[in-house]
């Protein structure tokens, strides 16, 4: 019998199915291939076996898979709508979870100022730019045979019965030593572990995108992750490179190879169709109740973050992160708002958050503010008039697209700041002051986020 395994190899990268994970092998991807792109190898049972009973030896399939070129793969995937734009949207959806995983790695390993500078740069690029930069980085890594940048680092291995750990090159660690896989191929799981171990030696976008294919995502979203891995790797590989879907984990004895293969493709297709129908039914229910579900989730998460901000257990930096997560909980997944930029820098200005306003109610349309600027202060004292004027200055420079500015100060604002805002007439722009008490009003009240914001706008208009 052949080796029991499954993997998807694209150019210089191979992602293997782990038989110990509760997730199916990627055999559903067979719908992308034509019959002419299938390969098999058949053998009869061992010649040394007892054949005295004159029975015909059983036939085994020892290899099973599909192959085509990267160029052909991209054409087929694009025809199904599996474009890079499609998968970039999925990356945006998952990015916050990926960011949380990476931040945990960062905080565990950080020990100097340079490390914290890298942590602060985690949101420097847009998701689209992160994907395109990742592709360029990996292309360059392939061209240098993975001896550039972070791959100059050594990997330390502890070996049983050997007192001192040994150090090997990144090349030795991440490249597959499996004789059944094409030579000079990177094992993607090893690549992920190596990058996490050397997280401060690689750009944040490299880690974020590689983390897409962690074992939890492969368990939770197997169909999406395998297809996304395939599409992303085709962008890195040359068009004449080979895509190899090996499905040896499905091997068994058979009298009719063609029937066996057709059964695999049919079962895989039916499985995918069944799952799509199930998701469509579920999503229909969720979409009908999307607003209510979002409000419940946002308020629950905000309550937990408020509690953490009110304790003395967090230092000022961690409290700043918690306040950022609080804002994220309020806006990042709301169906009518979309966070387009964090720490948006223009010249010598920095805007903490830029939010796209998609609310279609007449009240919001009349405000003529397609973008909303958000300023966030986690000071130990109330914010004063100087900071208000600075924020208003940023808004004036972008008044054609952002007439609404939300200014959150967890400790509130000075009386002078509030009086100045109410006293001065501002026809072209509005700054809305938000305090901890305002957020608690939203969390504990029977009110939606949009209604809450409308009340605040009327209050300061």
> How many degrees, rounded to 5, is the angle at CA 236 between CA 233 and CA 240?
90
**Tokens read off for 233:** 């790797």
Give me the pLDDT at residue 171, please. Answer: 83
Q: Which CATH class is domain 293-460?
A: alpha beta
* CB atoms closer than 10 angstroms to residue 39: 12
C-alpha span between 14 and 430 (Å, rounded): 53
Q: Are 209 and 235 in contact (CB under 8 A)?
A: no
> How many degrees, rounded to 5, is the angle at CA 443 between CA 437 and CA 447?
110
Residue 444 CB-density burial (10 A; 0-12 exposed, 13-18 middle, 19+ buried) = exposed
pLDDT band at 423 (very low <50, low <70, confident <90, very high): confident
**Tokens read off for 113:** 């100022």
Mean pLDDT of 394-403: 85
Q: Would the pLDDT of 213 be above 90?
A: yes
Give me the pLDDT at residue 424, please. Answer: 65
Q: Would the pLDDT of 1 be above 50?
A: no
Mean pLDDT of 346-367: 86
For 334-350, how does the pLDDT look when each residue is reduced to its tens digit (9 = 90+)? 778 888 887 777 777 88
At residue 280, φ and ψ (nearest 5 deg) are -60, -40
Q: Are 405 and 433 in contact (CB under 8 A)?
A: no
Give me the pLDDT at residue 233, please. Answer: 97
pLDDT band at 11 (very low <50, low <70, confident <90, very high): very high
Considering only 245-259, 288-302, 307-321, which range has the smallest mean pLDDT? 245-259
Give me the pLDDT at residue 337, please. Answer: 86
Residue of higher predicted confidence among 64 and 201: 201
C-alpha span between 240 and 176 (Å, rounded): 21
Listed in order, the ranges of the chain carrying CATH 3.40.1350.10 are 293-460
Residue of higher predicted confidence among 113 and 374: 374
* CB atoms closer than 10 angstroms to residue 97: 15
Mean pLDDT of 64-85: 90
pLDDT band at 425 (very low <50, low <70, confident <90, very high): low
Q: Would the pLDDT of 139 be above 90?
A: yes
- Calculate the alpha carbon distances from 385 to 46, 382, 391, 398, 432 in Å: 86, 10, 10, 20, 14
At residue 168, φ and ψ (nearest 5 deg) are -120, 165
Give me the pLDDT at residue 48, please. Answer: 54
Q: Would the pLDDT of 304 be above 60?
A: yes
Q: Are 355 and 339 in contact (CB under 8 A)?
A: yes
Mean pLDDT of 423-441: 82
Q: In the chain, what is the greatest distance between 2 CA atoms, to the nearest angstrom?
A: 104
C-alpha span between 451 and 442 (Å, rounded): 9
Q: Which of 271, 218, 265, 232 is nearest to 73 (CA)?
A: 232
DSSP string, 347-409: TTEEEEEEEEE---SHHHHHHT-SEEEEEEE--SS-B-HHHHHHHHHHHHTTTTT--EEEEEE
Give me the pLDDT at residue 5, please. Answer: 67
- Calculate the alpha carbon distances from 64 to 79, 248, 253 in Å: 25, 5, 12
Q: Which of 350, 307, 301 is nearest to 328 (CA)?
A: 301
User: What's the mean pLDDT when you consider all of the chain?
Assistant: 81
C-alpha span between 313 and 319 (Å, rounded): 9
Is the full-model pTM beyond 0.75?
Answer: no
Strand order in the sheet with 38-44: 38-44, 59-69, 242-246, 7-10, 13-16, 186-187
Q: Are 234 and 165 in contact (CB under 8 A)?
A: no
Mean pLDDT of 281-293: 59
């Amino acid at each position: 019998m052949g080796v029991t395994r499954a993997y998807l190899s694209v150019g210089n990268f191979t992602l293997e199915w782990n038989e110990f994970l509760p997730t199916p092998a990627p055999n559903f991807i067979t719908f992308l291939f034509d019959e002419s792109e299938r390969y098999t190898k058949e053998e009869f049972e061992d010649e040394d076996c007892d054949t005295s009973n004159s029975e015909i030896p059983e036939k085994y399939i020892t290899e099973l898979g599909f192959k085509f070129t990267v160029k052909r793969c991209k054409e087929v995937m694009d025809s199904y709508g599996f474009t890079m734009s499609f998968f970039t949207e999925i990356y945006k959806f998952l990015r916050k979870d990926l960011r949380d995983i990476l931040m945990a790695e960062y905080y565990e390993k950080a020990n100097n100022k340079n490390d914290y500078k890298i942590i602060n740069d985690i949101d420097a690029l847009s998701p689209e730019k992160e994907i395109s930069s990742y592709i360029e980085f990996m292309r360059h890594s392939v061209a240098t045979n993975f001896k550039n940048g972070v791959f100059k680092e050594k990997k330390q291995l502890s070996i049983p019965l050997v007192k001192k750990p040994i150090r090997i090159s990144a090349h030795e660690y991440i490249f597959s030593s499996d004789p059944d896989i094409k030579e000079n191929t990177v094992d993607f799981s090893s690549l992920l572990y190596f990058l996490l171990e050397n997280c401060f030696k690689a750009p944040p976008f490299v880690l974020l995108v590689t983390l897409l294919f962690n074992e939890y995502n492969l368990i939770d979203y197997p169909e999406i992750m395998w297809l996304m891995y395939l599409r992303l790797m085709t962008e890195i590989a040359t068009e004449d490179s080979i895509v190899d879907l090996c499905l040896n984990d499905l091997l068994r004895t058979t009298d009719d190879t063609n029937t066996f293969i057709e059964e695999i493709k049919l079962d895989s297709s039916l499985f995918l169709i069944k799952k799509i129908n199930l998701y469509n039914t579920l999503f229909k229910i969720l979409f009908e109740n999307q607003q209510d579900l979002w409000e419940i989730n946002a308020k629950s998460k905000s309550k937990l973050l408020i509690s953490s901000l009110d304790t003395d257990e967090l230092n000022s930096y961690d409290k700043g992160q918690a306040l950022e997560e609080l804002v994220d909980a309020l806006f990042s997944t709301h169906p009518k708002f979309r966070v387009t930029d964090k720490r948006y820098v223009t010249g010598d200005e920095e805007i903490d958050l830029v939010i796209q306003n998609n609310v279609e109610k007449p009240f919001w349309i009349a405000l003529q503010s397609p973008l909303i600027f958000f300023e966030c202060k986690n000071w130990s004292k109330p914010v004063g008039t100087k900071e208000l004027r600075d924020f208003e200055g940023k808004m004036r420079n972008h008044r054609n697209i952002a007439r609404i500015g939300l200014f959150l100060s967890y400790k509130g604002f000075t009386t002078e700041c509030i009086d100045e805002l109410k006293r001065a007439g501002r026809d072209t722009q509005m700054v809305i002051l938000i305090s901890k008490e305002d957020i608690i009003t939203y969390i504990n009240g029977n009110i939606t986020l949009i209604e809450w914001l409308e009340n605040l706008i009327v209050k300061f208009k």
